[in-house]
Structure 1
Amino acid sequence: MPELVRLYIRNVALGLLLSLVFVGALLWFNIGNLWHLVTSTREGPIAVVMLVMFNAVVFSGVQFGIAVMRMAEPEDRGTGGRKMPEPVAQPTGSLIPVTVGARAPRRSRGA
């Protein structure tokens, strides 16, 4: 199996684990009275499964993004901080202002 596929599967598993912990904490601390809501309705288990799956998608995507960004070679890393801008070439001649005429449209008196 290619290394990138293994990396993706590991991060999906980690995202699922994080999602289970997150949804478990939501239910344990009864955020927004969620525990009562999912235990007192017939559709409660479906809601919990949906919460776990949707959060797993988000968490595994973030995990995979972090893992890919950490794969950079040491020489690819910048020096950090702001880079100094390149010096701008100075004009060689003198600047002479030029007048440009412009006509305004006529206004009608009726409006």
Structure 2
Amino acid sequence: MAKVRISISLDPDAAERVRSHADRAGMDVSSYLVNAAIRQMAEAEEAEAEFAGVDALIAEAEGRAENYGSVDEADDDTLSAEERREVDEAMRLVYGVGASQTRSRGEMA
């Protein structure tokens, strides 16, 4: 298979660092950069696969949230006691044990 040439531009300090790292790895600069790019792509693809389920849940929740109005006007007075408990529990899950105390004082955790 024929190879494709890709040109990149670096500032002199970054280029020297790349050369130095390539030398220490026993590679030429081109091989070093290709290796680094392939490794980075593999890590990104692995992370995307790992979080695909979570991303789908977030997208679904955001889609459902579009059906609701703005929450800017909402305050604790509009919530039932059960709803406040649910919010407090969710805040504890997201921010940790002390979240419900800080939320009840109107502060962000």
TM over 0.5: no
Q: Normalising to structure 2: TM-score of the pair? A: 0.31
Q: Normalising to structure 1: TM-score of the pair? A: 0.30
